[in-house]
Amino acid sequence: MRGFVHVSGLFGLVAGAACTLVVSVDGLSAGVPRALDDDSGQASDDAEVVTDNDASPADGSSDVGVIADVDVSDAVDAAAACTGAHLFCDDFDTNPLAVSWSTSQIAGPVALDSTRFASSPRSVLFSVQPANGDRGSCIRRTVGVSGNKARVELDLFTNGPSGTSYVQVDWLALHLFPPPSGQDIQAVELVDFRSNGASRQLLKRYTTNGAGEQSTETPVVAPFGQWLHIEVNVDFARVPALATLKIDGFLAGTRDLLGTSLTSIELHVGPCFVRDANVSWQLSYDNVTVD
């Protein structure tokens, strides 16, 4: 069993608005925990206060992986995401993070950034700092849904790790409520996992209960160094329930889900779980919508 306390959907419900590998992940692969407190090793909601200044490394260093002198013309041609009606939307252009999100930043700082974005003028930037152990930096939001379906879209840019010394860095997770019978948690995750000397991205269904943890995984391709439009559709109106991942409009992978009902999702955006990442790594997100 992993040594952390899992976040459990307590962050403000907002109403109305192929090859498959099945593995036991005890002691190896992890889901998306609440970030660990630096000193106690316990999960904490008392994270460092998030700043809304342009993001920069916490120590001002020039480690590999730090964004500098970025040509913003490289940003994708993304229309203003929040001009239409959505159950939830944040383009990170107007409000401080604290208005819409609960935040933890144990793996490294989280800040609004005007250096790289998919739609002007800002995105949110996560800067993973090198360290051993399990930790995470994350923004979280719970959104109520109807019709047993949900669609989450966002724009993601990751410059990739500055080296090869890491085990796992999660990019995105949707925690699905209610969990299926016999499970405490069910989540759909997009993760980067290093195995046998190679980096690979996986679409995962992660579940856990008192008896242990398990994941089922589908390999996907998500390139570094460019903006990607990520779309995850979760459909519990069909049998069995299904999660579908699209990247830049193309089908990237699917994953069967457990259970028959969906009433809310808890968004976990950012590297919410990081394992033994002795590398610098930056991930930018923009235009998060839930429909």
Provide the whole-model pTM. 0.74
- The region of weakest confidence among 30-39, 116-125, 218-227, 257-266 is 30-39
| CA 39/CA 58 separation, integer angstroms | 19
| For residues 110-133, average pLDDT | 96
Helices (runs of H) and strands (runs of E) counted in the chain: 0, 18
- By the 10 Å C-beta count (0-12 exposed, 13-18 middle, 19+ buried), 246 is classed as middle
The model's confidence at residue 285, banded by pLDDT at 50, 70 and 90, is very high
Tell me what pLDDT residue 31 has.
36
- By the 10 Å C-beta count (0-12 exposed, 13-18 middle, 19+ buried), 78 is classed as middle
| For residues 87-101, average pLDDT | 96
Tell me what pLDDT residue 80 has.
65
What domains are there in the chain, each with its CATH number? 21-290 (2.60.120.200)
Tell me what pLDDT residue 11 has.
36
Burial 89-112, CB ≥16 within 10 A → b, else e: bbbbbeeebeebbbbbbbbbbbbb
CA distances from 283 to 3, 204, 257, 270 (A): 25, 19, 27, 7
| CA 170/CA 190 separation, integer angstroms | 6
| For residues 92-106, average pLDDT | 95
pLDDT tens per residue, range 142-197: 999 999 999 999 999 999 888 888 999 999 999 999 999 999 999 999 999 987 77
Helix (H, G, I), strand (E, B) or coil at 195: strand
pLDDT tens per residue, range 232-277: 999 999 999 999 999 999 999 999 999 999 999 999 999 999 999 9
In terms of average pLDDT, the best of 139-143, 159-163, 278-282 is 139-143
